[in-house]
Structure 1
Amino acid sequence: MNIFHSTNVEEQLLKEKIITILSLIKNKVENAAITIIRTTGININIRFGKLENIEFHNESNLIITVFNKNKTGTVYSSDLSMNGIHKIIEGAINISRHTTEDIFSGLPEKKLLAFKIKKINLFYPWNFQLETVKNLAILAENTSFEYDKRIVNTEGSSFDAYITTKVFGNTYNMIQAYHTSQYSLSTCVIAKNKHDMQRDYEYSFVRDIKDMKSPIWIGTKSAEKALSRLSPTKIKTMKSSVILNSDVTAEILLLFSMAINGENIYKKSTFLLDKLGKKIFPSWINIQEDPDLDKGIGSKPFDNEGVKTKFRYIIKQGILTTWLLDNYSGKKLGKLSTGNSGGIHNWIVTSTLKINFNGLLENMKTGLFITELLGNGINLITGDYSYGAVGFWVSNNRIQYSVSEITISGNLKDLFLNVVNISNDINYKNSIQCGSMLISDVQVSGI
């Protein structure tokens, strides 16, 4: 089944739409930026082998921002008809008339814009049959049930497929576009024994369907993870070495990205306010941002403001080298945009210490292996954190049993500096690519 529109034709039509909007805006405002995002896709949910629901997506989003005498107006709409376009233009202009003047508003400098873009392979369309993808989800769930009789229930399996065309234009005569595809398959099951019930899940998220993990692998891993959490043990309050699995490591590094975001910098609402050019990680850690990775989850040729994305070091030999700036925060701080309007682009965490996950366990010997964080326990101003956690106790270099009702707490400054090692079990499922992380001296609260 080919549910996807012809992207080349779509791109041309959307570019023509932006050219029309720019011509209508001309002489009414000083500058403007227009974004059109077109998404087509499908979502299928299965439970107990039966189709629960299927959703088709065919959406268009138009964003117009106008700049007029240091005043800004932005309007969002899903109506791309000419009548709708006239209304959204007038709406944006009217909003700009009633906003406060701000000398930092406006388009980015021309030299930063992506008038020419590099080809990045992010688009892998797949002409599938509905029955095929339904069977993928069913197989993942069935594999979990067949793995062990203690898998007694399911929260279901799902398959998603989307393609997106993004077109951007502004009054500096920049008009560019790119296409992406994404596919995901997941299942979540519940394990039960005489005394306990536990749930867990597994998923695969890719640009190219050929890279997706098999439904048998996903179903097996989901079952194994749920079973491993049965009959957890409580542990005493202590300071302990901790291993964060690759998913949790990505969560922690996402907090780091928020702490160096330009908006938090100029508002002075981050614990890393005075850390630019200073060491915040061990010297053997580098974090590179590479927006040009083929198939990268965070890859894009330009950011939400049309600024060309570039390779850069975020952390070099443990030292913080840059803030993450959009145009507005850059101007507020007297700097140029770093092309990070809309977020980060493929952070690659590298270590000069080469080790696999088993080596990380041997390195720790005894401590806590954390597989999930619970809650939202971060104070970004101070860096203090406190999270509920799920994981396993490790001794004699091996995972021994699951643990529950624990909390980890401390300050992210200390956590970053206390990283002992990072393994090579890299997580490619999101825009932060990092292995599991061993950290010393973490406060663990139990009984």
Structure 2
Amino acid sequence: MTRLASLTEALLDAAKKAGAEAADAMALSGISQSIDIRAGALEQAERSEATEIGLRVLIGGRQACVSASDTSPATLARLAERAVAMAREAPSDPYAGLASPDQIARNWDLAALELAEDAPEPNAAALEEKARAAEAAAMAVSGITQVEASAGYGRRQVHMAASNGFAGGYERNSHSVSAVAFTGSGTGMERDYAGEGRIFATDMPDASGIGSLAAERALARAGAVQPKTGTYPVLFDERVASSLIGHLTSAINGAAVARGQSWLLDALGKQVLPEGLSLIEDPLRTRISGSRPFDGEGLPSARRMVVENGILLGWTLDLATGRKLGMASTGNAARGTSAPPTPSASNTDLTQGTASREDLLRDMGTGLLVTSMIGSTINPNTGDYSRGASGFWVENGQITYPVNECTIAGNLRDMLLRLIPANDARAHLSTRVPSLLIDGMILAGA
């Protein structure tokens, strides 16, 4: 981390010498490795290490961003000179600019977030063992014809500094295991997957259980047919329900609102979810991949209520979109090394219900349980919604047979107001959304 801090300070010095009035810099360093197993053979083994730097310079209301993977002093100087030259030719943006010194984060408890474990990097053999365990467990299930399994590890360090006095960094790591299982052949082939990821290796579930679950899900898809066309209740399984809330968070993103391209432009202070449901963002949750001590502009991270009792309380803002809308940043800036900050939500939590998924299946009577979706046609201005879906047909509250090749459609504003949540959200996910029932959607099938 010391090396990354030195790089960001060197970039700021170079920017000042090149003529920048203000600047911020980012340095990233990471390693990643992955093992892929297919048909019982090692298909791919990869390991990468990289360092990347980025610099944003501001001159008046003009800004420019540059990035590089070469960290030599000569490159830093050229990078700064190029950025300043670009900024002088850039169009003026009255909303661009760094945070004021009284806005920036100065104290945070990085240890409390537990974003990185104090453990050595797993070697390739250990990752291969996990991938093979997942594959073997899936292949042990009768009816499974092929399995693709993977295991991976990553570790990333980030440090940012700015001419307004901000400086800070953190690191995070990740472990993952996944499996895709296939059953049948030709046009009758079906597949499904299972996967898990955690920051701490000790929190990871057993790899064989992941493979067994992928096999179980794939076999349940065998013999899928198109469902009936009509208007039916639709239950979004917990695996895909977060996509509905994702459409909500996209619509309240400050970038979309500032452009005037959001189907929720007139919804501030109005009801967007059923009474009793709230949406909370908390980037300070422990051992969660989306947590962070500060945002991409050095503002402190904080828990905030986005929707309370169904009422939309605010937009998701960085400094620039906040200035354009006449509001304060919500500390939601995200950025990479080659572009300015943009607003982005992290660690969102939807209120869970009291009923189980099985209770909602029973209550829906006849309809569709969606377990996977493909494609997306979402009108950003009207909220009109259409997606390809597959899952299971439900009759009299019981799952009867698998279905595929169907389309579900509606309008997001109306859909979100009719959500009925289950109580099955998984606690370790960054976005915690339970299974969600909507009492009536248009279904296009056979």
Shift of 1:227: 0.7
- For residues 222-371 of structure 1, the aligned pairs below 5 Å read 222-342=214-334, 343-351=344-352, 353-371=353-371
Alignment correspondent of 2:50 = 59
TM-score by length of 2: 0.94
Shift of 1:364: 1.8
TM-score by length of 1: 0.94
Unaligned runs of 5+ in 2: 335-343
Q: For the aligned residues, what is the CA RMSD? A: 1.5
Deviations 1:93-122 (Å, cap 9, x if unpaired)?
Answer: 111011011111111233332122232111
Are the aligned partners of 2:15 and 2:81 in contact in 1 as well (CA < 8 Å)? no
Q: Secondary structure at the match of 2:11?
A: helix
Alignment correspondent of 1:412 = 412
Alignment correspondent of 2:433 = 434
1:136 aligns with one of 104, 107, 130: 130
Shift of 1:428: 4.8
Alignment correspondent of 1:24 = 14
1:346 is aligned with what amino acid?
A: N
Q: Secondary structure at the match of 1:173?
A: coil
Q: Distance in 2 between matches of 1:125 and 1:402?
A: 45
Are the aligned partners of 1:378 and 1:384 in contact in 2 as well (CA < 8 Å)? yes
Q: Secondary structure at the match of 1:176?
A: strand
Alignment correspondent of 1:175 = 167
Alignment correspondent of 1:3 = none
Q: Distance in 1 between matches of 2:407 and 2:312?
A: 29
Alignment correspondent of 1:213 = 205
Q: 1:171 to 1:145 in 2, by over 3 A?
A: same
Deviations 1:174-223 (Å, cap 9, x if unpaired)?
Answer: 11011111111111121017972101111001111111121111111111
1:225 is aligned with what amino acid?
A: R
Alignment correspondent of 1:423 = 422
Alignment: residue pair count: 433
- Identical residues among aligned pairs (%): 30
Q: Distance in 1 between matches of 2:21 and 2:38?
A: 54
Query: After alignment, is 276-285 or 248-257 more displaced?
Result: 248-257
Alignment correspondent of 1:97 = 88
Q: Distance in 1 between matches of 2:33 and 2:157?
A: 15
Are the aligned partners of 2:32 and 2:153 in contact in 1 as well (CA < 8 Å)? yes
Deviations 1:348-388 (Å, cap 9, x if unpaired)?
Answer: 1113x312222222232322100111102111111011111
Are the aligned partners of 1:137 and 1:158 in contact in 2 as well (CA < 8 Å)? yes
Q: Secondary structure at the match of 1:147?
A: coil
Are the aligned partners of 1:187 and 1:219 in contact in 2 as well (CA < 8 Å)? yes
2:5 is aligned with what amino acid?
A: K
Q: Secondary structure at the match of 2:391?
A: strand
Q: Distance in 1 between matches of 2:398 and 2:358?
A: 8
Query: After alignment, is 116-125 or 332-341 more displaced?
Result: 116-125
Q: Secondary structure at the match of 2:45?
A: strand
1:197 aligns with 2:196: no
1:38 is aligned with what amino acid?
A: S
2:435 is aligned with what amino acid?
A: S
Q: Distance in 2 between matches of 1:418 and 1:443?
A: 14
Deviations 1:140-168 (Å, cap 9, x if unpaired)?
Answer: 011111111x21123x2111101111101
Are the aligned partners of 2:15 and 2:84 in contact in 1 as well (CA < 8 Å)? no
Shift of 1:23: 2.2
Query: After alignment, is 423-432 or 392-401 more displaced?
Result: 423-432
Are the aligned partners of 1:390 and 1:403 in contact in 2 as well (CA < 8 Å)? yes
1:350 is aligned with what amino acid?
A: T
Alignment correspondent of 1:443 = 442
Are the aligned partners of 2:152 and 2:175 in contact in 1 as well (CA < 8 Å)? yes
